[in-house]
A = this chain, B = another copy of it.
Amino acid sequence: MLLADIANLLGGELIGDGNVDLQDVASYEEASPTDLSYVESAKKLNTHSDAGALIVPRGLGIGRPGISAENPRLSFARAVLLFRPPRKFQPGIDASASISETARLGDGVYVGPFASLADGVVVGDGSCVGAGVHIDHDVRIGSECHIYPNCVVYADVEIGSRVILHAGVVVGADGFGYVPDEEGRFFKYPQTGRVVIEDDVEVGANSTIDRATLRETRIGRGTKIDNLVQIAHNVVIGEDCVLASQVGISGSVKIGRGVMMGGRVGVTDHVEIGDGAILGADTGVLKSLEGGKMYLHTPATEIRDARRRIAVLRNLPRLSERVNELEKRIGKLES
Q: Is the CB of B215 within 8 A of A228?
A: no
Q: Is the CB of A98 within 8 A of B96?
A: yes
Residue-wise interface mask of A (211-253) relative to B, using a CB-CB cutoff of 8 A (1 in contact, 0 not)? 0001100000010101110101000000010101110101000
Instruction: Tell me if A327 counts as interface (CB < 8 A to partner B).
Output: yes
Give how many copies assemble into the complex: 3
Instruction: Tell me if A195 counts as interface (CB < 8 A to partner B).
Output: no
Interface size class of A (residues with CB under 8 A): 35 or more
Q: Which residues of B contact A182 (CB under 8 A)?
A: 70-71, 74
Q: Which residues of B contact A299 (CB under 8 A)?
A: 310, 314
Residue-wise interface mask of A (125-159) relative to B, using a CB-CB cutoff of 8 A (1 in contact, 0 not)? 00000111010110000000000111010110000
B-contacting residues, A165-216, CB 8 Å? 166-168, 170, 173-174, 176, 178-182, 184-190, 192, 200, 202, 204-206, 208, 210, 214-215
Instruction: Tell me if A326 counts as interface (CB < 8 A to partner B).
Output: yes
Q: Which residues of B contact A154 (CB under 8 A)?
A: 148, 167
> Can you list 14 contacts pairing A with B, beta carbon distance less than 8 Å?
A73-B179, A77-B190, A87-B137, A112-B134, A114-B114, A116-B131, A116-B149, A152-B168, A166-B173, A204-B208, A210-B227, A305-B317, A312-B316, A313-B316
